Amino acid sequence: MQLRYSFRLYPNGPQRAALARAFGCARVVYNDALRAREDARSAGSPFPRSGDLSKMLITEAKKTPEREWLSNAPVGVLQQSLRDLDAAYKNFFDGLKGKRPRMGAPRFKSKRDNRQAVRYTRSDRWKITPGRDLHLPKVGAVRVKWSRTLPSDPSSVTVIKDAAGRYFCSFVVETGPETLPETTGQVGIDLGLSHFAVLSDGTKVDSPRFLRRAERKLKKAQQALSRKAKGSNNRAKARVKVARAHARTADARREFHHQLSTKIIRENQAVAVEDLAVKGLARTRMAKSVHDAGWSAFTTMLEYKAARYGRTFIRIGRFEPTSQVCSQCGVKDGPKPLRIRVWECGACGAVLDRDINAAVNVAKAAGLAVSACGARVRPGLVPAQRDETGTHRDGQPTVVGILSL
């Protein structure tokens, strides 16, 4: 399978200027190609092919005074921009045909976009130096903070600049399966807001609420940004401070997701989650808390880690009534408002924790063999049968208070 490995880059001043030129050249070629294809579409002509665009927008354009500065970027970076545009059009048309989720048509890029990126291929002759620096053509050797070793030799590297002004290098590499030792654990997970995750074994993971905790600092930084004059250098600095504050929150959330998902995958052979309608929940009054939780990112991590380490990952349907069914007897007790966290089954009398009961039902709906004892808060009072009431004496069937016939 293919995995992406990202590392932090620390370019110096001249290297940042060289990368800015590469970002600009790649962006201009992309926009020129998009304009050529949109003009052809408006005129009812067939789309120009990538080979013709490469010759017209790169080879011939470098010979003109208006585009001679395209020589500041390696030719492989410019050609990769055309391939990225081809991929954007393919994804757009596949979405219209129902082959993948729908996405918007390719749009023009701006130098003010939050994210700038270029991709270097092997034809550009980039390399990792013996001193563990990343050597990029027309940029030089850039210092990299390596957090782990690449499992295989990558064929390309993408250099990214985010809204906070940080630089990253991203490698896509082929990795083989890494099977973990088998375990007997099987768990269902109920995702929520008061608790981020509740497992069918009774474990509850508190919601960190990273955005809520950082709201005060974010508000202060945003207010400082709003007071700066538009177009001024102080406004640009304030914008970077806001972006860095949001980046710290996103990084903390991502680290929490990685640690929890790795722990669950290592301890369980099979994991089941519910397919939540996140887009629908994001349109309610709980939208900020829903986005702060990041359920989709967490379940995606569970899915690819399960595939990588030989575990079983199951999604159950979002219409499964996991919060309405008693995990003890299987009787559907009907919907309940969110304020009810503990409820009593009207059929068997079991007093159930709402979240743990839902997690157990998630596991059962996925066909996992889990115990339902974790869902019970305390044993319910089950009415005795008439012939079992009272006090029996000397083994006689006579019951106190009831005449024998």
Catalytic residue positions? Answer: 190, 274, 355
Quote the tokens at residue 158.
Answer: 């993408």
Residue 279 to residue 329: CA distance in whole angstroms? 33
Taking the CA atoms of residue 103, residue 303, residue 247 and residue 163 in that order, the dihedral angle to the nearest 10 degrees is -30
Residue 348 to residue 383: CA distance in whole angstroms? 9
Closest CA to 125 of 137, 139, 133, 134: 137
3-state secondary structure 313-346: EEEECCCCCCCCECCCCCCECCCCCCCCCEEECC
Task: Tell me if residue 122 falls in helix, strand or coil.
Answer: helix
Closest CA to 3 of 258, 176, 161, 134: 176
Residue 360 to residue 199: CA distance in whole angstroms? 8
Quote the tokens at residue 144.
Answer: 């990299």
Residue 63 to residue 176: CA distance in whole angstroms? 46
Residue 249 to residue 210: CA distance in whole angstroms? 6
